[in-house]
Amino acid sequence: MEDTTLTRRGKLASWTVVHYPPPPPHVPEEPFEPFGIAEVSFPEGIQIVGPMTKVDLSDLKLGMELETVVETYYVDHDGEAVLGWKFRSVEEEE
């Protein structure tokens, strides 16, 4: 098997908003806020799901460009930040 580095940017293929806190090992925000999940299609021919950095549903349009960023998912019991990939709109950055 070979590793492939993906382009940072892809297109929004689909999205949902999770309205209830998922069970452990998920660590929900306190107080819980509904959060967005995006499915992003990359030029390398793969689509990947991940949380969105923010959800303003009125801004979302399938096909819009999103960028991959690394952000904190939550801080664990030892005070360590657990990092993961998230997607943010390119406009958000600019």
Residues that bind another protein (CB under 8 A): 13-20, 22-28, 35, 37, 39, 41-42, 45-51, 57, 62, 73-74, 82, 84
Q: Using DSSP, state whether 43 is helix, strand or coil.
A: coil
Least CB distance from residue 8 to another protein, whole Å?
16
Single-letter amino acid, residue 12? L
Tokens 């019991």 belong to which residue?
Answer: 77
Closer to another protein at the Cβ: 27 or 69? 27
Extract the tokens encoding 77. Answer: 């019991």
Single-letter amino acid, residue 25? P
Q: Are 13 and 62 in contact (CB under 8 A)?
A: yes
Closer to another protein at the Cβ: 76 or 91? 76
Least CB distance from residue 94 to another protein, whole Å?
25
